Structure 1
Amino acid sequence: MLNRVILIGRLTKDPELRYTPAGVAVTQFTIAVDRPFSSQGGEREADFIPVVTWRQLAETCANYLRKGRLTAVEGRIQVRNYDNNEGKRVYVTEVIADNVRFLESNRDSGGSRDDAGSYGGGSAPSSNQASRGGNNNSGYSRGPAADPFSDDGKPIDISDDDLPF
């Protein structure tokens, strides 16, 4: 059996960091994922997917992610239910993330990291991102003029036909 999901979308608001009574960090946020087709009116539609992260990954997401940021999430789908105050059963479907990739730099929000990163499985930010699929800038100048992959804060227009999946 397999329950894996990979999503790429933009955060709809800043992540909410909370702690359980046992002191375990948990962060919740929602990402908007564009649908691959347009509506009959020609407008693009999106799905709004709730995401939950735990422990160190939750604290990292709360520190580095902000509303509007392009983010990749890898995890599993979980469906849970509870009875609300009116006695009605409520079902919640969410993604429990075990890996989050920050696909845009932190420049615009004034953060200290200047490159996108990948964090998961309780890993903390480090300079050795190559082993987890992050940027390896060894041998390259960190200046903005020397970075051939710099987006200059402008969105990158990529058609669906250019994506390998």
Structure 2
Amino acid sequence: MLNTLIAEGRLVKDPTLKITDNNFAYSRATIASKRGYKNRETQEYESDFIQLYLTKDNAKNFAKLCYQGDLISIIGRLQTDRQVGKDGKVTYYTNVIVSEFTLLTKKKTSAIEPQATTATPHNSGYPFPSEEPPIDTNFEAMELPPSMPFHDTEY
């Protein structure tokens, strides 16, 4: 059966990374994914909050690279689990078990004053020293050795 979910959204808060006693790494996070339509009453877009669960190196990389407000896309599968409370009440919860993620854009930051930069002048030697002779691009004037197979070919 097919159980694949692809979603895009912004991280609600920084992901948590936990490592168990037997060195198993896992990470949890939540993304807010804006719906593609407006609420009829409020005329505003609503969001779905999707719970993510990542394991092993995927979890470590996710926790290291992604932060609150970052826009990410994920591919995974839905998994619904249940938990029985002390009072016997059963609670169901759904997670996306993430198999792949892509960091699309970093969090929008406040406007930062651009820093003055000086342009590198032409022929400044970067990345090559300026002592080197320029490359001759006048190919018609170049003399080809007679051993070249296309020496007498007209184009």
Pairwise TM-score range, normalised by the shorter structure:
0.5 to 0.7
* Residue correspondence of structure 1 range 13-162 to structure 2 within 5 A: 13-40=13-40, 41-105=42-106
What is aligned with 1:10? 10
Residue pair 2:51, 2:95 contacting (<8 A) in 1 also: yes
Q: Any stretches of 5+ residues in structure 1 without a counterpart?
A: 109-165
**Alignment check: 8 A CA contact 2:75 2:99 kept:** yes
Pair 1:107–1:12, CA change in 2 (3 A): closer
Residues matched between the structures, number: 108
Note the C-alpha offset of 1:106.
Answer: 8.1
Structure possessing the higher radius of gyration over alpha carbons: 2
Alpha-carbon separation, structure 2, partners of 1:6 and 1:21: 32
Q: Determine the C-alpha separation between the residues in 2 that align with 1:12 and 1:37.
A: 21
The two structures have a TM-score, normalised by structure 1, of 0.62
1:86-131 Cα offsets, whole Å, 9 max, x none, are 32111110100010100015896xxxxxxxxxxxxxxxxxxxxxxx
In 2, Cα distance between the equivalents of 1:93 and 1:107?
29
Structure 1 runs of 4+ with >4 Å offset: 105-108
Percent identity between matched residues is 33
Tell me, what secondary structure is at the counterpart of 1:103?
strand
**For structure 2, which runs of at least 5 residues remain unmatched after alignment?**
110-155
Question: Greater RCO between the two (CA within 8 Å, min separation 6)?
Answer: 2
Q: TM-score if structure 2 supplies the norm length?
A: 0.66
Counterpart secondary structure, 1:62: helix
